[in-house]
Structure 1
Amino acid sequence: MSEFKIFFKFYLQYFLYLILAVLVIFLFTGSSFALGLIIGTVASAISAFVWQHYLNRAINSDSLHISSGSGLRLLIAVTACLFWVRFPDAVSIYGIALGLALTYVMILIHTFISLKQ
């Protein structure tokens, strides 16, 4: 199975469902928290893909040097937070922070599910 199909199966489909649900909420309410949650969730999905890519690369590598992509994931988080800096009235930092934390929640959930099997 390709790397993207594995990522889609375990993570991306759930991110897409959440983004669509929050997008509908945002369209009806215009909430700054919902917009921040959308931005944070998109950044979180990209961050999760970077994490999955580096994890697969580390698993398949024979090298002693293993990278986790943390610098790139930090850059993604900073970029998401820059939306709040640029548009503080339209975007909630709390929504962005919650959206960014979703990557780690999904990793934990996937880990617990994998341990049960």
Structure 2
Amino acid sequence: MKTERFEMRADRDFLKLVDDWRRAQADIPPRAEAIRRIVIQALSSGDDPTLSALLKDWFSANHHRIGEFGLEADVTPEKATTIILEDGARQSPVIGAKAIIDIFDGEPDSIAKQIVALLSRVAR
């Protein structure tokens, strides 16, 4: 297969996510191969990411901001996601969606934008 050169720039948070993923693989692929696998896996799944998965990814990349959600700083991303999604004030999907959109709207990172896009479909 003929390949073409492709370059991209990424911030440290993105590279940390990639590095964490690749270290979890048995063969610890180089970054380029890790990104290739992640993209192929995401595109071939055909599934939109779930809100739970997006929130967990966002909290993993922005762990230092968990306190902004009224949670203790040592709460894991998984637990933060569970707390946010099971909060009694967010039992109605539409009210919950609007509240979460307000929190993430205007955030510059791509995960926050995916969260807003996903929830915007629910909160119309």
- Structure 1 and Structure 2 fold alike (TM over 0.5): no
Point out the structure with the larger helix share.
Answer: 1
- Higher RCO by CA contacts (8 Å cutoff, separation 6 or greater): 1
TM-score by length of 2: 0.29
Rg larger in structure: 2
